[in-house]
Amino acid sequence: MYTSQLRQEINYNLERLSPEKLKIVAEFLAYLADKESELATQEILDIPGFIASFEKGKQDVVEGRVKNWKNIRSDV
């Protein structure tokens, strides 16, 4: 089933729910979105050397060791 079809089906069923059930759906959707975000974050954190590289990048910014992106990518 395509995403647009799923959204239509979800919207159709949402219209049929009571306010109490809508609240449960909203809480469940928030839970799912948080879980997906956590998984994506964990994927990034699992990249070997990512944390050290990220911390070095933050320190580079603090100490002014940065370049203007316009000087690097003039075609953007």
Q: What is the mean pLDDT of each run of 10 residues along the chain (76 residues)?
A: 92 96 97 95 96 96 90 75
In whole angstroms, give the CA distance from residue 40 to residue 47: 11
The answer, as to whether pTM is greater than 0.85, is no
Alpha-carbon distance values, 27 to 22, 24, 34, 38, 61 (Å): 9, 5, 11, 16, 38
Domain boundaries, the chain: 18-66
pLDDT at 76: 62
pLDDT at 3: 93
pLDDT at 72: 85
